[in-house]
A and B are shown apart, each in its own frame.
Chain A
Amino acid sequence: MVFADLPTLVDIVFWIIALFTVCGSVAIISVNNVFKSAVLLALTMVSVAILYFLLSADFIGVIQILVYVGAVSVLIAFAVMLVKDVPRSNSANNLINLSIIPSTIFLVIIAFAIGAENWITKTTINYEEPLNEIVVSNVSWIGELLIREYFISFQIAGLILLAALIGALALLRREG
């Protein structure tokens, strides 16, 4: 095939979304306005959700949009009210040059670890029909796994959410 090594449509969309995600992440920490960076956080979360759709994790993508774009970004935009000087509020502390060193070391270690491992991917084994079925539609399987194999973890996650709710209320309780 002549066209065998051309990138497919999924590859092109993946590279565009990956570029968009990285540029959005850089813009969050480089714009001067905190409100703009809250809006950019919502946009970056939408592009991460599109990445999940591309990686055939449809339920996780929907949950990402619901939780991060719907709840977390709104909470953060609500907290921007506490900032005094919004247009120049995203300033850096005096570690701005020193922090490049651990970040670069971390990225280099991660890149070497990824490059050194010989990854066995699913393309090396034969695809069977049940696997495709699971990978394509996974909402019902996730529900079944949550209440069977991961039941204890599910309950503990609920307990953690309850503890966070009670902790937030206890922190903000008016004294006396």
Chain B
Amino acid sequence: MNLETVLILSGIIFTIGLYGSLTKKNSIVVVMCLELMFNAVAIAVIGFSRFRPPQVLVDSDVLSPLNVLSGHMMAVFVIAIGAAEVALALALIISIYKIKGNIELTGLNNLKN
């Protein structure tokens, strides 16, 4: 377990989420894949926070929690934004269902013609 393996794992999960959100027809699965991408980013920042000190820490050996835990703060905000996003996305899915009668994204081409 070192920084490179954590970052590669994060990149693989992000790629799976990207592929799923590009190819899926069902909007609920697209929301799930967006959550996977959020989690990949959170894994990356936690890995940085665990293994790589900020440059300040390398230069001057200043050991403050602001230096060590800044990745944790980033992950907290990523999780908060992910929760807000899924609430809004499900509200959008329900309103699409009210208008169209199903929730498939391939039918949403009203602006095309």
Residues on A close to B: CB < 8 A?
Answer: 10-11, 14, 18, 21-22, 25-26, 28-29, 34, 37-38, 41, 44-45, 48, 51-52, 54-57, 59-60, 63-64, 67-68, 71-72, 75-76, 78-80, 82-84, 89-93, 95-96, 99-100, 102-103, 106-107, 110-111, 114-115, 119-122, 125, 128, 130-131, 134-135, 138, 141-142, 144-146, 149-150, 153, 157, 160-161, 163-165, 167-169, 171-172
A-B pairs with lowest CB-CB distance, top 3: A164-B84, A168-B91, A29-B20
Q: Given the complex of chains A and B, what is the CA–CA distance between A38 and B29 in angstroms?
A: 8
- Establish whether residues B72 and A59, one from each chain, have CB atoms under 8 Å apart when the complex forms: yes
Question: Which of B6, B15, B73, B90 is in CB contact (< 8 Å) with A106?
Answer: B15
Q: Which of B67-113 contact A (CB under 8 A)?
A: 68-69, 72-73, 75-77, 79-88, 90-95, 97, 102-103, 105-106
- Establish whether residues A95 and B23, one from each chain, have CB atoms under 8 Å apart when the complex forms: yes
- Establish whether residues B84 and A160, one from each chain, have CB atoms under 8 Å apart when the complex forms: yes
Residues on B close to A: CB < 8 A?
Answer: 1-9, 11-20, 22-26, 28-29, 31-33, 35-36, 39, 42-43, 46-47, 49-53, 57-58, 61, 63, 65-66, 68-69, 72-73, 75-77, 79-88, 90-95, 97, 102-103, 105-106
- Establish whether residues A22 and B12, one from each chain, have CB atoms under 8 Å apart when the complex forms: yes
Task: Give the dominant DSSP class at A's interface.
Answer: helix
Task: Give the dominant DSSP class at B's interface.
Answer: helix
Residues of A with C-beta under 8 A to B9: 18, 21-22, 51
